[in-house]
Structure formats: structure tokens, C-alpha cells
């Protein structure tokens, strides 16, 4: 496959994904006023995988309304939906503009979406699409530890009479990554393991499992050991 053909196919795939995203976001917006999210509505149940559940809780602490909308006035205009556990360890967050005068419930919307995906699954940098009425823009960055791709998206279809607060997907992504780094630095550092070849063999055979042992330093006080001593290097043992 030539580079030009591969580039064309990548562009076509990106455009198709953008169209599908807009369709999904439009469907969400149509339900915004008829079935508003409850303030007490719980997030999607955590996955059975314990590690994935811990990862999702970590991400949930980063993507908050305060982090996405630092300005309280702008924040008050948006409804935050519960976090969604998407396929392939994706985590999604959606913020929808509350119904404004002049907006038709089955047509108009302004949506901010934040998505975490495993690293390498999202194209980096600026993206989006424009149409006769619908417009969307997104910005994607890699987390500093190389674990996730973070994408912040904005999509809208609004009448001329509705003005929304200025929003920058790029600035928001940078702000969220800064929070990501801060939260990451607060996480307990994993202990370094010492692996014996025989232990690895037993583990692979299903006869043993890894465990963590922490040894604290201690003071030797036994008088039989602590006094000075002379070592006879010529003595045969």
C-alpha cells in the first residue's frame, strides 16, 4: 500500500468516525430535556476487573466539572452525565448545555466530551469536522506516563440567538493532563520485586503466586555478636 493511499484511507476513517460521533452526540442532546440525568444517578457499574476499576476511579478524580469548566458561570450552564465505561477500557465523560431560550429540544445541542483510551488508539493533535450546520473540533494528547490517549471534543448545532462560553479543547486537554500528572505523583510507588528463576518457573506452572515482602531494618543487641572479634583465615572449617 502506498503512503498516499494509506493517508487517504486514514483521513476517510477519521471523517467517518467524526460523523458517527456527531450522530451519537445528537441523540444524547435530543434526550437531554425529556430525560434529564438525575443528580443522584450513579456512574456505570465498575468492571469486574479490579485493576480496570481502580484505573477508572483514578480517571474519575481527574475529569470533574470544575476541571473542564474552571469558570463557575460557564460550569452552571452544563449538565454533567455519569462517567461511561466504554469498550476496550475506554472511559467517557459528557457535559451537555442546558436548554437555552431559542433552542429546539429535538435539534439543537452543545456537547463537551472527554475520552480516555489506551495509548495508540486515537490520532494525536487537532481534528474535527464541519458541515452546513453541525461543527465539531477535538484535540488529542498522550498522557505523560504513556498509558492513555486523552481526547477533548466539542460538538454543536445551535441557533444564532444562543451564545455559549468560549471553549478550547486544546487548553482543556492540557489542563486535564496537568491534573493527571499531579494525581499520578500522589499514587503510592510500587515496590520493586526480586525474581528468582526457580520462583518464575513455579509461577508459570501454576504452583506459586507472587507476594510482597517488606523487611524493616533492625538493631543487633546480642552481646555474643556485637563485641570485636578476630578472624582466623587459616582455620579449616
Give domain status of residue 197, yes or no: no
Asked whether the predicted pLDDT for residue 142 surpasses 90, the reply is: yes
Mean pLDDT for the stretch of residues 17-22: 45
203 belongs to a structural domain: no
Q: Which residue has the higher pLDDT, 194 or 77?
A: 77
For residue 166, being part of any structural domain is answered with yes
CB 162 within 8 A of CB 156: no
Region 44-59: what's the mean pLDDT? 74
Residue 79 has pLDDT above 70, yes or no: yes
Q: 126 with 160: CB under 8 angstroms?
A: no
DSSP class of residue 163 equals: -
Q: Which residue has the higher pLDDT, 54 or 208?
A: 54
Q: Is 201 part of any domain? A: no
| Domain residue limits at 49 | 3-186
Q: CB atoms < 10 A from the CB of 132, how many?
A: 5
User: 212 lies in a domain?
Assistant: no
Q: Is residue 235 part of a domain?
A: no
Please determine, for residue 51, whether its predicted confidence score (pLDDT) is greater than 60: yes
> What is the model's pLDDT at position 232?
81
Query: Could you tell me where the beta strands, DSSP code E, fall in the chain?
Result: 78-80, 84-85, 91-97, 109-118, 125-130, 135-142, 148-157
Rounded to whole angstroms, the Cα distance separating 63 from 138 reads 16
Within a domain: residue 123? yes
Q: How far apart are CA 124 and CA 128, in angstroms?
A: 12
* Contact status, residue 111 vs residue 96, Cβ threshold 8 Å: yes
Within a domain: 176: yes
Count of structural domains within the chain = 1
Per-residue pLDDT at 9: 39
Average pLDDT in the chain: 78
Amino acid at each position: 500500500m502506498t503512503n498516499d493511499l494509506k493517508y487517504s484511507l486514514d483521513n476517510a476513517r477519521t471523517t467517518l468516525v467524526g460523523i458517527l460521533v456527531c450522530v451519537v452526540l445528537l441523540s444524547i442532546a435530543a434526550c437531554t430535556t425529556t430525560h434529564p440525568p438525575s443528580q443522584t444517578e450513579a456512574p456505570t457499574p465498575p468492571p469486574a476487573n479490579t485493576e480496570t476499576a481502580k484505573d477508572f476511579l483514578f480517571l474519575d478524580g481527574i475529569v470533574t466539572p470544575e476541571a473542564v469548566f474552571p469558570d463557575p458561570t460557564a460550569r452552571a450552564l452544563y449538565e454533567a452525565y455519569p462517567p461511561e465505561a466504554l469498550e476496550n477500557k475506554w472511559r467517557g465523560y459528557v457535559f451537555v448545555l442546558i436548554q437555552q431560550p431559542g433552542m429546539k429540544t429535538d435539534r439543537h445541542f452543545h456537547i463537551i466530551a472527554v475520552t480516555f483510551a489506551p495509548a495508540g488508539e486515537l490520532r494525536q493533535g487537532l481534528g474535527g469536522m464541519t458541515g452546513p450546520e453541525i461543527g465539531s473540533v477535538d484535540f488529542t494528547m498522550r498522557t505523560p506516563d504513556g498509558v492513555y490517549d486523552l481526547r477533548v471534543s466539542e460538538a454543536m448545532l445551535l441557533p444564532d440567538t444562543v451564545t455559549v462560553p468560549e471553549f478550547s479543547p486544546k487548553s482543556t486537554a492540557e489542563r486535564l493532563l496537568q491534573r493527571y500528572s499531579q494525581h499520578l505523583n500522589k499514587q503510592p510507588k510500587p515496590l520493586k520485586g526480586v525474581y528468582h528463576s526457580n520462583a518464575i518457573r513455579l509461577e508459570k506452572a501454576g504452583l506459586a503466586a507472587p507476594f510482597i515482602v517488606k523487611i524493616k531494618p533492625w538493631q543487633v543487641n546480642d552481646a555474643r555478636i556485637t563485641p570485636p572479634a578476630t578472624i582466623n583465615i587459616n582455620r579449616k572449617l
